[in-house]
Chain A
Amino acid sequence: SAVISQKPSRDICQRGTSLTIQCQVDSQVTMMFWYRQQPGQSLTLIATANQGSEATYESGFVIDKFPISRPNLTFSTLTVSNMSPEDSSIYLCSVELYNEQFFGPGTRLTVL
């Protein structure tokens, strides 16, 4: 299995600011994914991040709002930019390893 950690685990931010979420995995992985879980809703894929290439964003998500870095095979960051209360969600990273997706514990973001 893969052990994934995320920082921060939770944060409360002011409207208009940005927050960068870190995801660290204990194995080298090619594919990392970022998901959002809005209150009372299912998980929605934001983007797929492969090391050495630009992230691929899903419909409704853009790089200016959610820039992603993937500097190596064990680490990625997701930035939530120019936040509004609608960005209040749990953000999760996941990795694919051994044909299975493993998920981090999530970052609970509240925007005031």
Chain B
Amino acid sequence: GNSVTQMEGPVTLSEEAFLTINCTYTATGYPSLFWYVQYPGEGLQLLLKATKADDKGSNKGFEATYRKETTSFHLEKGSVQVSDSAVYFCALSAGGGNKLTFGTGTQLKVEL
């Protein structure tokens, strides 16, 4: 079956540090890949997505590249801000029906 593995948190960084949150997946066929973010007290929001190999999703300074050869979709940001503190979920959709399979989530804390 489909599965998503992402690095455990919490990840604590200083403001302006470089961020990487690792995500690898197992899926049949050619999944679409997503990063969702959940800010404190809010619902999940789509951060970025990629639908085919070598696509790069980007939004709000965050980027992730769909790497089929390594089955990965790592999230990166060059300079984090305190306002980026949230829980980040990697997810995939495969096999039709638009069902999402989520990773366990990684909490990011950014300090001044």
Contact = CB atoms under 8 A, between A and B. Distances in A.
Interface in A43-83: 43-45, 48, 58
A96 B34 CA distance: 14
Nearest to B6: A42
A96 B42 CA distance: 18
Contacts of A40: 104
A81 B97 CA distance: 26
A92 B44 contact: yes
A31 B42 contact: no
B103 A42 contact: yes
Contact of B43 (A31, A58, A106): A106
Contacts of B43: 4, 92, 102-106
Chain B: number of interface residues, binned into ranges: 10 to 19
A91 interface: no
A45 B100 contact: yes
Contacts of A105: 41-43
A45 B101 CA distance: 8
Interface residues of A, number: 21
Interface in B1-25: 4
Interface in B25-49: 36, 41-46
A89 to B, nearest CB: 14
A48 B45 CA distance: 19
B57 interface: no
In the complex, the 10 A-B pairs of residues with the closest C-beta atoms, listed nearest first = A103-B44, A42-B102, A43-B102, A105-B43, A42-B104, A103-B43, A96-B98, A104-B43, A45-B99, A42-B103
Interface of A: 4, 31, 33, 40-45, 48, 58, 92, 94, 96, 100-106
23 contacts: A40-B104, A42-B89, A42-B102, A42-B103, A42-B105, A43-B44, A43-B100, A43-B102, A44-B102, A45-B99, A48-B97, A58-B99, A92-B43, A96-B98, A101-B46, A101-B98, A102-B43, A103-B36, A103-B43, A103-B44, A104-B43, A105-B41, A105-B42
